[in-house]
Structure 1
């Protein structure tokens, strides 16, 4: 149902990432179907389907760009207020503001110089910033630093 929050948990190798790949149509099921809003994902226009999905995964990729540019990557003209709101939502604003140039700080490719938790928070902020219909969080808390803030 639209607006529902669904958590999928399971042991390593149980198919969680496979399900994410099927929802995003990186490959299709050979039997049965996966439905989004009661529609088989194979019936969606691929571009439209993927445009409505944002994912933050354990393996974070950051670009050699500013913090702002990394958060607003999916929406390059995103107003600064929304960039900051996304960062605040994932408790990243404080560490960003403590960086030498705040949101204008250049982040090295793959986040060189940032802790694992900081990288993941920026990736989470990027995913939230695009305001997706489907937000996929795949093992995003593995780098730690999340237990002390809710």
Structure 2
């Protein structure tokens, strides 16, 4: 059996390259959003997509929080983030319990169905970056400076 010693290095190089590209996209988006921050209407995205799309957006965020911050000491942070996001998206109070259960890992849901539903929104066809922009504006307005830390995985 032949062992490839270079394989882990190439994987690490690929990961580094992907991380650099994600950071570049994030920085470009952040610059564009912050320069247009005064023109941005806080509920702009909320008015463009359906209730199912908004729910999917929140569910993707909840599942991401579970994936990224799955430690007991992160529980308060996760719950605070999702509560602020639900207020931002103007979702009903009843949704909070479901989102908290997603954050806590109850159930075995995958974000794939939510992503597909969100991407199928007519207002987001070819403009899915609007979701990222909305999330950045939410984080900047809400003082959630940890967004930068999250994106530097």
Calculate the TM-score normalised by the size of structure 2: 0.28
Calculate the TM-score normalised by the size of structure 1: 0.28
Higher helix share: 2
Higher relative contact order, chain-length normalized (CA < 8 Å, sep 6+)? 2
Query: If you compute each CA radius of gyration, which structure gives the higher value, 1 or 2?
Result: 2
Higher strand share: 1
